[in-house]
């Protein structure tokens, strides 16, 4: 395995909306080998943190540092709320093409090759010419996951990627993300599923406005850290669908 490299670093990041504290003094770094799970209750600030990592919003205080700032950081992003394009007549192929950082509308063999490879990797080759309006929720999620990783980004960031999809699709998503991470591409995802995070992630950031825990997933599974974030004792229960 290669040397560790910082991809993104947060220093004392805080965010307030209308005098309401959303994130308070968050500091940690994301490295090139990280498969980082963000865990926290509803309203804990996970989505806001993801928007900071992607550059969609700026913190009120603190800094977001991109150590490799000598080059553009390409981010593959899967938001919790998918764009309105899901209600358009766009095809799967057209949606995935928008994930190419230098989209060429299929005028180059390289673009076509990347799209064909990612639909093969994800197992949606048979859907490539289908319109999104005819797909199931799980299929649409896989299409937007393909869009996020089609151009081999520097980092993949996903907000609740397994919410509202069936257990089989959840397992497929994590399998794809694990393979992506094995190529030295860091993955950051948020979830309410404690078991999924501790099973698939190698590091955990437990957030409830403040950073209650950041470290290896095997060090996380104690009621101490769960209690700090959720405010009461929590027991981790295995879900067979993920195994």
Residues 11 and 47 in one domain: yes
- Residues forming beta bridges with residue 202, ordered by sequence position: none
pLDDT of residue 238: 43
Closest CA to 178 of 132, 140, 145: 145
225 domain residue, yes or no: yes
- Global confidence as pTM: 0.87
Cα–Cα distance between 120 and 43 in angstroms, integer?
37
pLDDT of residue 201: 93
Number of domains in the chain: 2
* Residue positions counted in the chain: 243
Residues 174 and 147 in one domain: no
Residues 132 and 181 in one domain: no
State the residue range of the domain holding 100: 90-153
pLDDT of residue 240: 46
Residues 137 and 104 in one domain: yes
Residues 50 and 169 in one domain: yes
pLDDT of residue 223: 52
From residue 148, give the alpha-carbon distance in Å to each of 195, 202, 207.
24, 21, 24
Residues 167 and 229 in one domain: yes
Residues 160 and 234 in one domain: yes
Helix, strand, or coil (residue 21): strand
Domain end among 131, 153, 175: 153
Tell me 92's DSSP state.
H
Residues 177 and 229 in one domain: yes
Helix, strand, or coil (residue 17): strand
Report the CATH number that the domain containing residue 219 is assigned in CATH: 3.40.50.300
Write the CB contacts of 150 (distance below 8 Å, at least 6 apart in sequence): 76, 96, 99, 100, 114, 115, 118
Cα–Cα distance between 233 and 20 in angstroms, integer?
26
Residues 48 and 20 in one domain: yes
Burial of 131 (0-12, 13-18, 19+ CB in 10 A): middle
79 domain residue, yes or no: no
Residues 162 and 144 in one domain: no
From residue 52, give the alpha-carbon distance in Å to each of 10, 18, 160, 178, 230.
9, 18, 16, 23, 23
Cα–Cα distance between 51 and 80 in angstroms, integer?
11
Q: What is the mean pLDDT of each run of 10 residues along the chain (243 residues)?
A: 82 94 96 94 93 94 81 87 74 92 62 93 95 91 95 94 89 94 94 82 93 88 61 48 45
């Amino acid at each position: 395995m290669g040397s560790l490299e910082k991809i993104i670093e947060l220093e004392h990041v805080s965010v307030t909306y209308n005098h309401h504290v959303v994130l308070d003094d968050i500091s940690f770094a994301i490295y090139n080998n990280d498969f980082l799970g963000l865990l926290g209750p509803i309203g804990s600030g996970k989505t806001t943190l993801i928007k900071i990592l992607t550059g969609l919003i700026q913190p009120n205080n603190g800094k977001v540092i991109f150590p490799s700032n000598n080059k553009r950081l390409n981010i593959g992003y899967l938001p919790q709320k998918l764009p309105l394009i899901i209600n358009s007549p766009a095809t799967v192929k057209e949606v995935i093409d928008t994930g190419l950082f230098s989209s060429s509308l299929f005028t180059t063999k390289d673009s076509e090759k990347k799209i064909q490879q990612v639909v093969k990797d994800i197992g949606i080759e048979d859907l490539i010419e289908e319109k999104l309006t005819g797909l199931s929720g799980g299929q649409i999620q896989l299409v937007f996951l393909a869009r996020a990783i089609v151009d081999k980004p520097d980092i993949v960031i996903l907000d609740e990627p397994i919410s509202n999809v069936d257990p089989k699709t959840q397992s497929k998503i994590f399998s794809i993300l694990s393979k992506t991470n094995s190529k030295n591409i860091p993955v950051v995802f948020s979830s309410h599923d404690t078991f999924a995070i501790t099973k698939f992630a190698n590091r955990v950031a437990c957030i409830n406005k403040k950073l209650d825990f950041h470290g290896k997933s095997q060090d996380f599974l104690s009621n101490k850290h769960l209690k700090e974030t959720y405010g009461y004792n929590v027991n981790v229960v295995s879900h067979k669908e993920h195994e």
